[in-house]
Amino acid sequence: MPSSIGLSLTTVDLWDHFASYDIVVKFSALRTVRSIAGNNFKIAYDSRDPFDNPLPSKSSNVESVVFDRSNVDSKWLTPYLSGLKSLRVFRCSSTSQDHWQPSFDPFRIRAALLAQAKESIEVLELNSDRGEGHYIGSLSQFEALRELHTSQHQLLDHMLMNWCSKQVDMLPASLESLTVNFQDLRDHYSLHILVVQMGELKAK
């Protein structure tokens, strides 16, 4: 009797797994799958360009993608995210506790999410324990974003380079919860400015 697991599978968890990009794409393309998760997960290098085999646009029903303490190169995430039309939760925390450290580019990831999920994404987490200073960019276009977890460098360092910027304007009006991970607790000036700006908005 043929197996019907493909007709009922909704959740895929990959633990301590070194996988190819194709494996993630194939699971995500199953019409019943709603959640993809990886813990201590690594996307292996592939000799092919990831753009040669992206997840077909609007082919996936995946609503949640969580890569926890994982090493996933941003150039693999970009074509993958472009096929997730219903994504509501995206969490990606990159770790340095591995000899292989791929590129982690929050700005590139944000651009991919904006192209497909700006109306659906509700929870966004982008964190790297390597303390990388890549700026994530404005999140104001994410219409449904309620919960944001990110690092000081990715969210706030831009303020130190552009004194005229109003950081609070780069956050969506829908935001209800903000978690900022500080690699250096002494460097809190930019967060202070953000809080002041939020207070000014409330007073208007």
pLDDT of residue 190: 64
Contact 165, 159 (CB under 8 A): yes
Of residues 151, 148, 149, 84, the one with CA closest to residue 112: 84
The sign of the torsion formed by the CA atoms of 131, 183, 78, 24 equals: positive
> Domains in the chain, start-ordered, CATH in brackets?
5-203 (3.80.10.10)
Query: Is residue 64 classed as helix, strand or coil in its secondary structure?
Result: strand
pLDDT of residue 57: 56
CA gap 197, 203 in Å, rounded: 10
Of residues 64, 58, 82, the one with CA closest to residue 11: 64
**Claim: this prediction has a pTM higher than 0.85:** no
Could you list the pLDDT tens digit for every one of the 204 residues in the chain?
Answer: 445 555 789 999 887 666 667 778 888 888 899 999 988 777 655 545 555 556 655 678 999 999 887 777 777 788 888 888 899 999 988 765 555 555 778 888 899 999 889 999 999 998 876 545 577 888 999 999 999 998 877 877 655 555 445 666 788 889 999 888 776 655 566 666 666 667 665 544
